[in-house]
Chain A
């Protein structure tokens, strides 16, 4: 089983996000960057398939600034075999457009051989949920997104997807695209040995030119404010007053 796993460097989910002075980027100072959590599920699944098959490889790939090398190193430490950094200078990850990213990844992937392409279902910075299905279209591959269970046998994949109010099973012949949702597996932590070994694994770097954007960012803004919180009271005695307010003030009952 040969897999390519596309991972992304994103701000930690706890990070405080502030808009930078130019109004178009986030201020990276004080922000801790980590591997996109959905990418961890994707990587874990690819490694499990490789290990179960007893042969094959896991290649991790990311598109981003120089700093994204760190993310690849942590993937190598977790157990990936090799890494590819597509360096797009001047682009902060959150500001890259889905289709431009998909195209750059697809161009690189097209020259490689693989059984499965893994993605996280969503990047937690742009929250786009675009890239996996776009890459599948660009490479003319079958694709299952929001996958919570996967089995591969005799050159076919069976994926269980989460959809509104239930699940759906999708089957396709390899090669194909899988976008991982939480629940697919429990990602491992890098071991000390893994961290040492990572430094010796191949890490290829290439400069890429992102295609001209089709969307223009006018600006980033703080979220709409919420009204001042009201503590209605304490204990069950406060319930009638809550219900009155929900009905008369907020008009939601």
Chain B
């Protein structure tokens, strides 16, 4: 007892960062509960090699089902596979990432197994030997603390909140033989952006622009800053510029966009409407650049510069490039 199962998400045969986060969180929980960490991963043949890395994050057993059908996420097949793994053990908790895939899968598993699910969890504690979770509601205006009345506890974790932690471990891969369920819905196409863009939910640094940029061509300034910040950085946007058609909806941060928790968030030319704040107020550090000293964004920013973004941004990019070239 006390074992925790973690669902490891892959894309194109590669582990996603949320997989490391999920396994690390499972390890921390299992340590307190005195149990083991089992990982379930689904993918096309060759997946095991990628999944092996997770033993470094504390996995005791790596349960891998390989089948061409698992190469892309098919909800019906994945739900059946996870359900089978769950019924082969006795788990105190099952952890999923609260990614698009993880949220879909966890809801289906909860319905099939008739268990309670807490989604977008930002914190797990153990009280009286059982998991107690905290999760934001009302766009982060209130947090709920919940306990589970039945086992296993089903939990999805907000991306970028649980920090992956390497440790010494020796979990080895065990191949599972799972017959993929026939699909009721078929995934017939997958499109990625022109370049493989890092999703705002997963980036460690997000540079968001708002109406203050005045013209979509001016995004060049934000792109330069993203490039200077390196591979963990990506672009975000306010709803105003998404509605104007300047930026794709996938970049929108806020209540009707994505909720992000990066290590560093830049809000440039964004006023800080309550619906925007709902999407980024849990960032570790927030920087605001705005010419209006009264802009509400300054109320949540850790650091603010009052000024014209067209003057501030190039200077900021230059300073950060300099830092990078000095090896920081």
User: Which A residues contact B (CB, under 8 angstroms)?
Assistant: 11, 13-17, 19, 26, 37-38, 94, 97-99, 102, 124-138, 140-146, 148, 158, 161-172, 176, 181-183, 213-224, 226-227, 229-236, 238-240, 242-243, 245-247, 250, 252-253
Contact = CB atoms under 8 A, between A and B. Distances in A.
Interface of B: 11, 75, 79, 99-101, 103-104, 107-108, 110-112, 114-120, 132, 134, 136-150, 184-193, 196-199, 201-202, 205, 249-250, 252, 255-257, 263-264, 274-275, 278, 281-282, 284-287, 293, 298-308, 311-312, 314-316, 319-320, 323, 328
Given A144-B185, A166-B192, A220-B137, 19 more contacts: A13-B255, A129-B103, A133-B104, A140-B184, A165-B193, A168-B187, A169-B187, A169-B188, A213-B149, A214-B150, A221-B142, A221-B145, A227-B302, A231-B306, A240-B319, A243-B319, A243-B323, A252-B263, A252-B285
A247 B316 CA distance: 13
B146 A13 contact: no
A38 to B, nearest CB: 8
B32 to A, nearest CB: 18
A99 B114 contact: yes
Contact of A127 (B116, B139, B287, B316): B139
Q: Interface centre among B144, B145, B190, B193, by most A CB within 10 Å?
A: B144
Given A166-B191, A171-B188, A239-B316, A247 B323 contact: yes
A237 B322 CA distance: 16
Q: Interface centre among A16, A94, A234, by most B CB within 10 Å?
A: A234
A137 B303 contact: no
A125 B205 CA distance: 27
Contacts of B118: 215
Contacts of B315: 236, 239
A142 B185 contact: yes
Contact of B186 (A128, A171, A181, A229): A171
A143 B146 CA distance: 28
B150 A230 contact: no
A17 B285 CA distance: 24
B189 A214 contact: no
Q: Interface centre among A11, A130, A143, by most B CB within 10 Å?
A: A130
A125 B137 contact: yes
Given A13-B275, A162-B249, A223-B141, A130 B303 contact: no
